[in-house]
Structure 1
Amino acid sequence: MKRRKYPKANKMMLVSLGIMTALSLPIQAEEEIFQLDETVVTATRTEQKVKETPASVEVITRKDIETMGAERVVTALKLALNLNLSEASMVGNQVSLRGMNTNQTLILIDGRRMAGEDAGSTANVYELDRVNINNVERIEIVRGPVSSLYGSEALGGVINIIMRKPEKPQSTIGLSTGSKQQNASYHLDLGKQGKWAWTFDTLFTDIQKQRRSETTNMYGPRQFYNISGTYDLAEGKNIDVFYERMSEHLKTTDYTDDGGREYFTNTRNSYGLTYRGRTTRGNYELRTYYNELEKNTDQLEGPGSYSDFDRANYKTWAIDGKNTMRLQDDHVLTFGGEYRTSEYRGTRLEDNGDAVSTVTEHGISKSISEKSVDYQAVYVQDEWKLSDKLLLIPSLRYDDSNRFEDSLSPKLGMTYHFADNFRLKTNFGKGFKAPSISELYMKMTRRPIPTRTVIVIGNPDLKPEKSTSYDISLEGEKGAAFGKLTYFDNDVTDLIGTETTRAGSVSTSKYVNIDKARIKGVELEAGRHLSNNFTVKTAYTFLDAKNAKTGEFLQDRAKNRYSVQLHYDDAQRTGISSILWYEWVRDYRYKDDEDKDTDYNYGTLNFTINKKWNERYSTYFGVDNILDKKIDELVLEGRLWRVGMNYTF
């Protein structure tokens, strides 16, 4: 395949950068636009204003989700800065922050870890679609390592999806359809009933079939059930409980509907309990939670002819706690710890684990076994206000496990207000990613075609991946204009990859600490409130992500991404909010099945609109890739639309 040339790419970049520069210039009649200061809790585990926290953060609110007409979490994240959500064949979406690998982003639900796939090629790629978007209150994104507070996997950053809590008695019915899926949802908020407050959510989704080259996506029904409650134990003391269930019955087809196909029947159950309280000096909480994902995969060569199957069960149980205290007016101390255990029982461990047995399905017998890993950690953080202009936040976490070496993760963040409405922020930290159970103990044998055998073997001697990172940002507001410029640099060592040997039709891969990476780049955001209703924004990301050993640019990443966005919001209870944006992607590196590199360039025009007809009824419409750009290799499927409504009573 020939590399596609776009001679206008450099001109487009200059135009985009020119717009960014223009946004920062003064206008004749500058007006002050009133804005509420957004707050974030993920960056420091305490509530803090976005402008104050040193970390590079982004908050997607419930209103943003509604304006985007987001029928899934991936749609809600489309405008997030330096977050790669590119699709990859049938296996879902990448979740890559600042050019790091998908499995180096920590995805949390209300600060909780979720049991799920843990191999390098599957970790996180399904997770965003296993969240009930109807029940999401806000999404907080922290870019850069946060291992000093959250431990393993938080090298690239954290995406914390915060669910809705009981507020006031009301019910909402939602219906939507589109190119990707159809949804029917129901939200019931009972409000305060005595000492209890309850909320219930259901979402029924039918994922549409999409033909992709020689196969299809995973399509079929998915259901969600969410229940959460809060009990007032005493003045300033509460107990929170929740239960969540997700089930999916998906399938794919190859070539024709009469040919081979795979079936995926998966169920996840989650529940937990939190005790929290407030004092005159701070707040504290203690919680425990458990979640389990059961996966059943069946592969057919043709109608009624089973060729393979997999069974997997992932479990996570944790108990954690934290305490935040104001020691002095200029010191807020947060400290806490956790104990967590992860367990995996599956056929892809074969007989390489404990409690070995044999499972027989469809006349096929396979070995199945299990392994578990225990984690312990403690952390401490000090929010130190040295003066009205300078805030320092040092933090430190110690992680230990029964399966690999311990890790110490320090971080230092600083915010300096050097002028009114202008700030300098900088962060330095170390992060790590512990090897997963699959990377440690996998023993998988598969025959994707009758004449070929693929074997993947784990390595119990793996070391954690480690990173040393820093970033520096300049941000501020002047009148109706605002902007932020960030440089970031990540040095990653002991990356876990595979070494492959081939003997005839058999290829054997073993997990090893083999690679090093140097990932650095620039993030630029700028905008102007043209009026109380219109805002123009632009964003640009330059990424230099290379294998430190070979010097090659890392695959599945774009060197340049930039967008221009026009936002409209009439700020009325019965009104319209809308976004029109164009995104350019340049030098997106893709490696095909024959290990041939190709750099792709493309652009997409997108539009969403949300109309509130009255205080009860609203509708929305969205269309992505209006110009119908298609690239099969990147799963860029052309024009996609969605339309929906919500009615509250």
Structure 2
Amino acid sequence: MKYLFLLGAAPFIAAAPAYADDIANDTIVVTATRTETPVSEIGQSVSVITRGDIERTQAVTATDVLARLPGASVSQSGGFGQPASLFIRGAKNAQSLVLIDGVRINDPGDVGGGFDFGSLTVGQFDRIEVVRGSSGVLWGSRAIGGVINLITARPTDQWLVRGQAEYGWRDQKQLGASAAGKLGPVGLTLGGNWLKGDGYSAFDERLGGKEKDGFESKSANARAEVELVDGLTADAGTYWTKANYDYDNTGADALNLGMKRDTVGYANLRYKGLDGRLTARIGYGLTDTRRISDDAVYGPYTTNGRADRFEGQVAFAPLDLASIQIGAETEKQNFSDNYGSKDSTSIDSVYGMLTVHPLTGLTLNGGLRYDDNSDFGHKTTFSANGAWAVGSGNEAPILRASYGEGFKAPSLYQLYTNGGYRELSPETSKAWDAGVELPFAEGQGRFTVTYFDRKTKRLIDYDYAEWNYYNVGRAWAQGVELGMQVNDWRGFDVNLSYTYLDAENRDTGAQLARRPKNNFYASLDRLIAERFRLGADLRVGGGRYDDVANQYWLAGHVLVGLRGSVAVNDHLEVYGRVENLFDEHYEVVRTYGTAGRAAYAGIRVKM
């Protein structure tokens, strides 16, 4: 039956979801619904980070950006290149789906099938959309915690070229450039970034770590699109990154070497007709990864992961009051290592989503998804959400609520390394949230408060006593997110986020490891005389347990940063920043180091 379904759905198969034609418009997002949708019609909690936000805060890595958001916390075992996990509302790193230009980049060779954020820079991205909460019906496996979509610049009729150079603490150097525009009928996007530094010891220097763990990262992206006939376009693109880095053993310096290489490719046909009421896409997407952990004593361990994916969707709005979206997907994953392991799995899916607008300002969405996993059988999941804009215009409050179910099979790595020890079962989840968005500051500011609750069965965790993976009987995460954002109001930009999280193993009562109960971030920027900008940020990370048995407690920390920039003219900007101003000593992973006081300076060129 699954092959009959895929054959019938073939005309709609696509490699990448749609994204907004004008991504500079902050009121339009795509990741939450896989179609261009105003924020006021989205029932889930969404954050949008623009190119302006990235440049204003002088962010270098994806973790710099994501750690500032409500509901998100980051745990990294050392500096750049070292493993970094993102927890959205307490969900494991492998339970959140990561996309680049709509293409899944979760690593099939990763421990849990997640994405390691440790070496991902943000210099090439123009926009980042983050959806918090279960998105399993539209996005499938791995979208239990949320979805992160990193979007490169879209070409316009006028070429835009950017360049950046930065230098700072411990000989850290960064160069980046991007260009987007059109050559005749062909739209092009090109970009590249290079980052290199001496780094600091992954083993905490304040505990005796002396050997610096340096790194070097290179990345490049390209995209081309062309309109074939009226309403029908073709596009293809790629994103490639490679990072080399040093790393240590647990609790000691070591001369270990690591390498990560990620390649993403995609090609699509897109159609839009009937005055925009009908859209469809067909295509193919590829994710190919390679990881090398070269231990100075035991030698290298190499993993290779590859995912080939066909996916597609068609959306039709026969009436202004209703629209329907259907999609079909098939994915094959392959995993191998240098110890003879070689395995594969596949999953076929179909989903549908109905959207109605029964009242002015009210949007309701409901959907179903059917997954057929070659190893673990089939599963049907359901979701529903709604948004109600109580009034009209930028100053209308918005009420939101959502419910979503999730399904995630064990990764190939977990199945292979656990062979003969414990039988693993798929994770399942049920999550809901409810919140309100209140505008202020003449419509330029937004205050949000959201309560969330997620129950997970058979959560996969690692047992350090038995040295293998196992299913936790029940896990529960609940909490509250507060957010406030002000954009360009009387020269001010303000961003506040606070998260209270209670995440525990319901069978043992222990807190889930490395999730802080309290997390707070605040930033304030002021534009002076149209040329000078000053800013500061404050991060308060709560304490957390570092292990599943709750035996090792890591205290919280307070970090302060300062930054400033000068626009020399319309094309040139000079900037600088100081991070960890008071040289706070802290750990987010036991015995692993974090950066001390550091200063950086750079220039940006735009034309």
TM-score (norm 2): 0.86
1:289 aligns with 2:285: yes
Alpha-carbon distance in structure 1 between the residues aligned to 2:255 and 2:585 = 25
1:315 aligns with 2:306: yes
Cα displacement (A) at 1:162 = 0.9
Cα contact 1:516–1:549 (8 A) shared by 2: yes
Cα displacement (A) at 1:597 = 2.7
Taking structure 1 as reference, are residues 499 and 584 closer, same or farther at Cα in structure 2, changes over 3 Å only?
Answer: closer
SS of the residue 1:133 aligns to: coil
Letter of the 1:224 counterpart: S
Letter of the 2:271 counterpart: G
Residue equivalent to 2:408: 433
Letter of the 1:395 counterpart: G
Alpha-carbon distance in structure 2 between the residues aligned to 1:509 and 1:616 = 56
Alpha-carbon distance in structure 1 between the residues aligned to 2:330 and 2:54 = 34
Taking structure 1 as reference, are residues 609 and 183 closer, same or farther at Cα in structure 2, changes over 3 Å only?
Answer: same
Residue equivalent to 1:414: 386
Residue equivalent to 2:545: 589
Residue equivalent to 2:165: 175
Bigger drift between 511-520 and 260-269 goes to: 260-269
Alpha-carbon distance in structure 2 between the residues aligned to 1:255 and 1:328 = 60
Alpha-carbon distance in structure 2 between the residues aligned to 1:255 and 1:128 = 17
Alpha-carbon distance in structure 1 between the residues aligned to 2:221 and 2:25 = 30
Q: How many residues align?
A: 565
SS of the residue 2:83 aligns to: coil
Within the candidate set 97, 107, 111, 1:116 is matched to: 107
Taking structure 1 as reference, are residues 611 and 275 closer, same or farther at Cα in structure 2, changes over 3 Å only?
Answer: farther
Letter of the 1:269 counterpart: T
Residue equivalent to 1:23: none
Alpha-carbon distance in structure 2 between the residues aligned to 1:368 and 1:209 = 34
Structure 1 stretches of 5 or more lacking a match?
1-34, 302-306, 348-366, 443-455, 502-507
Alpha-carbon distance in structure 2 between the residues aligned to 1:262 and 1:117 = 24
Q: Deviations over 1:338-385 (max 9, x none)?
A: 1111101113xxxxxxxxxxxxxxxxxxx3131011111111111210
Residue equivalent to 1:210: 200
Taking structure 1 as reference, are residues 459 and 272 closer, same or farther at Cα in structure 2, changes over 3 Å only?
Answer: farther
Alignment of 1:188-203 (within 5 A): 188-189=179-180, 191-203=181-193
Percent of residue pairs identical? 23
Within the candidate set 67, 71, 81, 2:70 is matched to: 81
Taking structure 1 as reference, are residues 577 and 50 closer, same or farther at Cα in structure 2, changes over 3 Å only?
Answer: farther
Structure 2 stretches of 5 or more lacking a match?
1-23
Residue equivalent to 1:276: 270
1:325 aligns with 2:328: no
Taking structure 1 as reference, are residues 254 and 550 closer, same or farther at Cα in structure 2, changes over 3 Å only?
Answer: closer
Residue equivalent to 2:144: 155
Alpha-carbon distance in structure 2 between the residues aligned to 1:37 and 1:114 = 24
Alpha-carbon distance in structure 2 between the residues aligned to 1:406 and 1:440 = 18
Cα contact 1:333–1:382 (8 A) shared by 2: yes
Taking structure 1 as reference, are residues 166 and 584 closer, same or farther at Cα in structure 2, changes over 3 Å only?
Answer: same
Cα contact 2:189–2:224 (8 A) shared by 1: yes
Cα displacement (A) at 1:595 = 6.3
Cα contact 2:97–2:106 (8 A) shared by 1: no
Larger radius of gyration: 1
Alpha-carbon distance in structure 1 between the residues aligned to 2:251 and 2:514 = 29
Residue equivalent to 2:585: 630
Taking structure 1 as reference, are residues 516 and 163 closer, same or farther at Cα in structure 2, changes over 3 Å only?
Answer: same
Bigger drift between 575-584 and 248-257 goes to: 248-257
Alpha-carbon distance in structure 2 between the residues aligned to 1:483 and 1:518 = 27
Cα displacement (A) at 1:569 = 4.0
Q: Deviations over 1:268-318 (max 9, x none)?
A: 3332211111102222111202231123332223xxxxx322122111111
SS of the residue 2:246 aligns to: strand
Residue equivalent to 2:5: none
Cα displacement (A) at 1:36 = 7.1
Cα contact 2:482–2:497 (8 A) shared by 1: yes
Cα contact 1:57–1:142 (8 A) shared by 2: yes
1:605 aligns with 2:590: no
Residue equivalent to 1:14: none
Bigger drift between 55-64 and 540-549 goes to: 540-549
Taking structure 1 as reference, are residues 479 and 201 closer, same or farther at Cα in structure 2, changes over 3 Å only?
Answer: closer
Within the candidate set 322, 341, 352, 1:369 is matched to: 341
SS of the residue 2:63 aligns to: helix
